[in-house]
Amino acid sequence: MTETHSMQCTTSILVMKEWQSNIKAANQTIGFVPTMGFLHDGHLKLIEEAKKSYDYVAVSIFVNPTQFGPSEDFDAYPRNLNADVRLAAQAGADIVFCPEVIDMYPEDSGIRILPGPLANRLCGVSRPGHFDGVLQVVLKLVNIVQPDAVFFGMKDAQQLAIIESFFIDFNFSTRVVRVPTVREQDGLAKSSRNVNLTVQERTEAPLIYAVLQQAVVLCQEGVSSKEIERFVKETLEKKTSGTIDYVSLLTYPKLESPTDSSADLIIACALQFSKARLIDNILFKKEG
C-alpha cells in the first residue's frame, strides 16, 4: 500500500461489513479507531499507531447520542465531517465509517449494558448513564467493523478502564490498544472541546496538567491521597476561572482507593469552564 492511497467513505453499515469481510477473507488485519469526529492530533496519532501494526485502518465518525445526558452538549458538540475525512485520509485511514443515528439505533428494545462500579467514580458521578452509552456504541461498532484491535487514547482514562474490563469480561477477540495523550506545546491535552474555551480560559487550561504533575511528585514523596486531592482542587480553584467537577487519586485500572501496596495509580480531574468541560489525568507508578 502506498502513502497516497485512496480512501473509502461510507454511511452504510452493510458496505462497512462487506469491506471488513473482504479483508478477513484475504487473511489481512484491521486496526480500528472509533471517534466522535472533529478530529485533532490525538485522533490522528491513534490512526498512525493503528497503521504501524495492521494492514488496514478503519475510522468511525459518529456523535453517539446515547452517551450524552439530558443537559449535555449533543447538539453543540463540534462537527466538521469534510475536514475529518480529509485528515483521516492524510493520517493513513483506509475507510471512514460515518453512520446516521437512525441506522445505528433503528429501534430501542430496552436492552442495556451496565458498566457497574467502575462507572461510579470520576466522570461517571456527574454523567449518569454516560458509560452505558459508551459501551453500547463500542459494542455495536466493534460488531460491525470486526477489527483485530481497537485504539483508544489515555486522556479518557476512565472510559479506557471500563472498555478494557468490558472486553475481558465478555471475551472479545479484539484487543484494546492504549495510546498516550497527545498534548499542545503548553501541556494542554488535545480535545475537540478546546475550541469552546474563551481566550482567557485557554491561557488557564494548561494549569490542569501542570498541577497534576505536581500531584504525582507529592504522591511519590508519600503525601496522603486526601492532601493531594485538596492541593489540586485548591490550586485550580485559585488560579483558574473554572469550577472543579472532581479530583481523584485512585488505583488503575480498577479505580479504587489506593492502599500502601497499590503500585499503578491515576490522578485525574475535570474542570468545567463556561462552555467546555476539560478532563485530564496522569497514570504513574507510586515508586516513581
Is 12 annotated as belonging to a binding site?
no
Among 20, 32, 43, 253, the one annotated catalytic: 43
Is 36 annotated as belonging to a binding site?
yes
Is 193 annotated as belonging to a binding site?
yes
Is 31 annotated as belonging to a binding site?
no
- Secondary structure, 3-state, 79-139: CCHHHHHHHHHHHCCCEEECCCHHHHCCCCCCCCCCCHHHHHCHHHHHCCCHHHHHHHHHH
Is 37 annotated as belonging to a binding site?
yes
Name residue, grid cell 455495536: 140
Contact predicate 54/30, CB 8 Å: yes
Is 245 annotated as belonging to a binding site?
no
CB atoms within 10 A of CB 133: 19
Q: What kind and span of H or E run contains 151?
A: strand 149-153
Is 167 annotated as belonging to a binding site?
no
Is 182 annotated as belonging to a binding site?
yes
Backbone angles phi, psi at 274, to 5 degrees: -60, -45
Contact predicate 14/103, CB 8 Å: no
Is 154 annotated as belonging to a binding site?
yes
Q: Is residue 43 flagged as an active site residue?
A: yes
Is 38 annotated as belonging to a binding site?
yes
What is the DSSP code (8-state) at residue 189?
A: B
Residues annotated as catalytic are 43
Query: Annotated binding site, which residues?
Result: 36-43, 67, 153-156, 159, 182, 190-193
Binding residues for ATP, as ranges, are 36-43, 153-156, 182, 190-193
Annotated binding residues for (R)-pantoate, written as ranges, equal: 67, 159
Binding-site residues for beta-alanine sit at 67
